[in-house]
């Protein structure tokens, strides 16, 4: 890679919601001189939370990119959402960074969102640093939080600085590398003074430094030998070993401060530059056992990790260049479509200022607007792929897939204005490019347009953006459960359609027998006509009539499944018989047969997998039982307990908020269709009665 890439740091700010990531992002921008005023999340004045819905909800919803210049380095900061509903943005940001700073609330400690993101960063092999925030809050305890971090993430979590307190207030930090105190007198930019470590803090600081040096010395045998022999280790050697340990995932440094007061941020900026790896140091992108070098003069290889849907600018794509150089007013090939894209104005963001770039090279992150077909997950290449996958130097290449959570909270959506349905669907699909976790489909049985997300908040945010950006007002309601009907015994029926009103009439006559089939067998039609009782040309029409009748069952109007129909007799008229007559006869016969074959109502049964803390298992199982669920067992998985249960879909439509309440926001679940089962008699009678009343009202 180029010397330019040596001075780049790509850093994702991640952590649980409410830990102060956006406040830290704002403080870093202020300290670096990118902005002149320290904005606040509470009054909606931060750079990162620029969308109206982010300001209204006081939380990040989308990843925000900001370039921060510091000590002749370029820090590409990606402030990510902490709300689990918008985890796709955090995962996408981690994919293109070498480093992640985990922001920790000093009161709450290690939260479930932090643990999940840590596991993902570990899979990606990222360098990790932890910033313990909010140390000015009541009940905030740095050392208690540090022990919790060690318990959660292992013994290689080690403090490189500790808080400096004056009475009950935090007034600065103590640097454990150089053993000096940095006292901050005000919240202004660069407003700290180096002082001697106060006597009351000295013993604690020395103990913390010993633990730090133990970790640093383990990076190399030579350093360990010198350290054990009591030799002096220089500042440069400590910093070099620390950086090597961080890059290799052997040391996870912990720093601290108060983002809302701009306390500790200048030292964090120094730590980003000194301790976190550049794209060059972290190594080449390795995919499919191959490495993509960072040659700025090589063929272009850039990955799009975030798409924003804008009604005026079109798609705005954030990308990371891995090889080659993307230039203004050039062309690139989309890996997925193999189509050419004209690269217009390249941009990046420095605070609220949009900067135009002529070119963006390897290791760097930028944005481009108005690409025709490119969206998140696509590669921009110098030439067309040699297969249906992206390729570099003629060999296929594919970014390791991000395993996104499955949407579980579904709503039926319909436009408030007649004629807006097509606009609604196309706009929803554009917003889906921005958040791939959102699922959209049309239920073929109910005819409803279904939008599903990870929570009610997730879907509501999408609907708000649909209104604000595209001018489409819609309403949400619970989706209809796709019930089915079937039969429990065999029955015979006769269907005849006869009409004579002068001239040619209509005549069709058939005898059928219906039989139940096993679950999942579907529909079977058997022709047992002998002796030409019904001409062969009319038999397909009888089958169509049977299928017509199965579309709306005789109990509550739901489709019928798992039935065998045998056509065994009938009659025809040489002049009046026709396809339409036999189709109507088949439908009449089928409706009669279903009524006589002990019809029953079926409901979809879901296999629900719930991941919860051990302390919540009993409450969760009790709640699933109250939903007519049948627990199938539980198993510990990564510090959580995974509970599996079979539960009717009708009982799961409002499960997400209830699970959050039971587990304090720590539980999550997935579900998939397992099979259909007969609805209990008391519930079935209620559903049939409701369907009958609805039909009467419609009539």
Q: What is the pLDDT of residues 289-347, one digit of tens each?
A: 567 778 888 889 999 999 987 777 678 999 999 999 999 999 999 988 888 999 999 99
* pLDDT tier, 15 (very low <50, low <70, confident <90, very high otherwise): very high
Beta strand 290-292 pairing with 285-287: antiparallel
Q: Give yes or no for residue 395 having a pLDDT over 60.
A: no
Residue 585 within a domain: yes
Residue 531 within a domain: yes
Q: Which of 344, 369, 396 is the last residue of a domain?
A: 396
Residue 232 and residue 380 share a domain: no
> What CATH number corresponds to the domain at position 331?
2.40.30.10
Residue 246 and residue 170 share a domain: yes
Q: Which residues, including other chains, have CB under 8 Å from residue 426's CB and lie 6 or more apart?
A: none
> What CATH number corresponds to the domain at position 651?
3.30.70.240
pLDDT of residue 585: 97
Residue 173 and residue 76 share a domain: yes
Residue 539 within a domain: yes
Q: Which of 424, 454, 477 is the last residue of a domain?
A: 477
Residue predicted with more confidence, 167 or 132 = 132
> What CATH number corresponds to the domain at position 571?
3.30.230.10
Residue 181 and residue 53 share a domain: yes
Beta strand 127-133 pairing with 99-105: parallel
* pLDDT tier, 691 (very low <50, low <70, confident <90, very high otherwise): confident
Number of domains in the chain: 5
Residue 405 within a domain: no
- CA dist., res. 71 & res. 124, Å (int): 28
Closest CA to 565 of 545, 590, 539: 590
Residue predicted with more confidence, 394 or 538 = 538
Q: Do 130 and 118 meet the contact criterion of CB atoms below 8 Å apart?
A: no
pLDDT of residue 333: 92
For 426-429, the CB contacts below 8 A with 24+ separation are: 427/466, 427/469, 427/470, 427/472, 428/462, 428/466
pTM attached to this predicted model: 0.81
Residue 513 and residue 383 share a domain: no
Q: Which residues, including other chains, have CB under 8 Å from residue 525's CB and lie 6 or more apart?
A: 543, 546, 564, 565, 567
Closest CA to 159 of 207, 121, 197: 207
- CA dist., res. 88 & res. 160, Å (int): 31
Q: Do 564 and 592 meet the contact criterion of CB atoms below 8 Å apart?
A: no
Residue 695 within a domain: no
Residue 516 within a domain: yes
Residue 519 and residue 472 share a domain: no
Residue 227 and residue 105 share a domain: yes
Range of the domain at 244: 3-283
Tell me the average pLDDT across 25-37.
93
Q: Which residues, including other chains, have CB under 8 Å from residue 375's CB and lie 6 or more apart?
A: 304, 307, 315, 317, 433
Residue 65 within a domain: yes
Q: Which of 396, 425, 457 is the last residue of a domain?
A: 396
Residue 462 and residue 329 share a domain: no
Residue 693 within a domain: no
> What CATH number corresponds to the domain at position 166?
3.40.50.300
Q: What is the pLDDT of residues 478-516, one digit of tens each?
A: 888 889 999 999 999 999 999 877 667 899 999 999 999
Residue 272 and residue 205 share a domain: yes
Half-sphere exposure of residue 453, counting CA atoms within 13 Å on the CB side?
25
Residue 512 and residue 469 share a domain: no
pLDDT of residue 573: 92
Residue 442 and residue 507 share a domain: no
Residue 505 and residue 626 share a domain: no
């Amino acid at each position: 890679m180029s010397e330019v890439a040596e001075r780049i740091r790509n850093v994702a700010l991640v952590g649980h919601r409410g830990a102060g990531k956006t406040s830290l992002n704002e403080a870093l921008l202020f300290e670096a001189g990118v902005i002149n005023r320290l904005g606040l999340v509470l009054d909606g004045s931060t750079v990162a939370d620029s969308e109206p819905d982010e300001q209204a909800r006081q939380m990040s919803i989308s990843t925000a990119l900001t370039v921060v210049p510091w000590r002749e380095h370029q820090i590409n900061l990606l402030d990510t959402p902490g709300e689990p509903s918008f985890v796709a943005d955090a995962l996408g940001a981690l994919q293109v960074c070498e480093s992640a700073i985990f922001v920790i609330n000093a009161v709450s400690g290690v939260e479930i969102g932090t643990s999940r993101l840590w596991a993902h960063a570990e899979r990606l092999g990222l360098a990790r640093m932890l910033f313990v925030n909010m140390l000015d809050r009541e009940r905030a305890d740095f050392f208690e939080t540090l022990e919790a971090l060690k318990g959660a993430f292992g013994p290689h979590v080690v403090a490189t600085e500790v808080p400096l307190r004056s009475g009950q207030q935090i007034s600065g930090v103590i640097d454990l590398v150089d053993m000096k105190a940095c006292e901050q007198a005000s919240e202004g930019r660069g407003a700290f003074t180096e002082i001697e470590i106060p006597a009351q803090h000295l013993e604690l600081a020395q103990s913390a430094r010993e633990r730090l040096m133990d970790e640093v010395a383990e990076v190399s045998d030579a350093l360990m030998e010198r350290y054990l022999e009591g030799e002096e280790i220089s500042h440069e050697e400590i910093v070099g070993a620390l950086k090597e340990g961080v890059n290799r995932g052997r040391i996870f440094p912990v720093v601290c401060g108060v983002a809302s007061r701009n306390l500790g941020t200048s030292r964090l900026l120094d730590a980003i530059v000194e301790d976190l790896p550049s794209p060059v140091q972290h190594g080449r992108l390795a995919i499919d056992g191959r490495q993509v070098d960072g040659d700025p003069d090589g063929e272009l290889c850039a990955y799009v990790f975030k798409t924003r849907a804008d009604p005026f600018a079109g798609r705005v794509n954030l990308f990371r260049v891995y090889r080659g150089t993307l230039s203004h007013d050039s062309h690139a090939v989309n890996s997925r479509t193999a189509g050419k894209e004209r690269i217009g104005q390249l941009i990046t963001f420095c605070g609220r200022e949009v900067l135009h770039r002529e070119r963006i090279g390897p290791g760097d992150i930028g944005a481009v607007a108005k690409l025709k077909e490119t969206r998140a997950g696509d590669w921009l290449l110098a030439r067309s792929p040699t297969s249906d996958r992206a390729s570099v130097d003629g060999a296929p290449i594919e970014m390791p897939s991000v395993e996104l959570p499955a949407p579980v909270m579904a709503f039926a959506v319909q436009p408030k204005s007649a004629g807006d349905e097509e606009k609604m669907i196309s706009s929803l699909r554009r917003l889906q490019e921005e958040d791939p976790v959102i699922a959209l489909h049309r239920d073929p049985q109910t005819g409803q347009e279904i939008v599903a997300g990870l929570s009610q908040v997730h879907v509501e945010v999408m609907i708000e953006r649909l209104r604000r950006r595209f001018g489409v007002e819609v309403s949400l309601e619970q989706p209809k459960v796709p019930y089915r009907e079937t039969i429990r015994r065999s029955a015979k029926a006769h269907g005849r359609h006869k009409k004579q009103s002068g001239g040619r009439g209509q005549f069709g006559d058939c005898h059928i027998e219906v039989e139940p089939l096993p679950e999942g067998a579907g529909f079977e039609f058997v022709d047992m006509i002998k002796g030409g009782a019904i001409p062969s040309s009319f038999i397909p029409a009888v089958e169509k009539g049977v299928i017509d009748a199965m579309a709306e069952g005789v109990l509550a109007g739901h489709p019928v499944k798992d039935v065998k129909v045998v056509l065994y007799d009938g009659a025809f008229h040489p002049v009046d018989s026709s396809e339409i007559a036999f189709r109507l006869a088949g439908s009449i016969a089928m409706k009669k047969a279903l009524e006589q074959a002990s019809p029953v109502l079926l409901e979809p049964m879901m296999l629900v997998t719930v991941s919860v803390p051990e302390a919540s298992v009993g409450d969760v199982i009790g709640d699933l039982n109250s939903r007519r669920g049948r627990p199938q067992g539980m198993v510990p998985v990564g510090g959580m307990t995974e509970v599996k249960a079979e539960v009717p879909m009708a009982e799961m439509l409002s499960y997400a908020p209830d699970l959050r309440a039971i587990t304090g926001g720590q539980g999550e679940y997935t579900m998939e269709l397992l099979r259909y089962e007969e609805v209990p008699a008391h519930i079935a009678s209620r559903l049939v009665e409701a369907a009958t009343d609805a039909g009467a009202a419609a009539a």
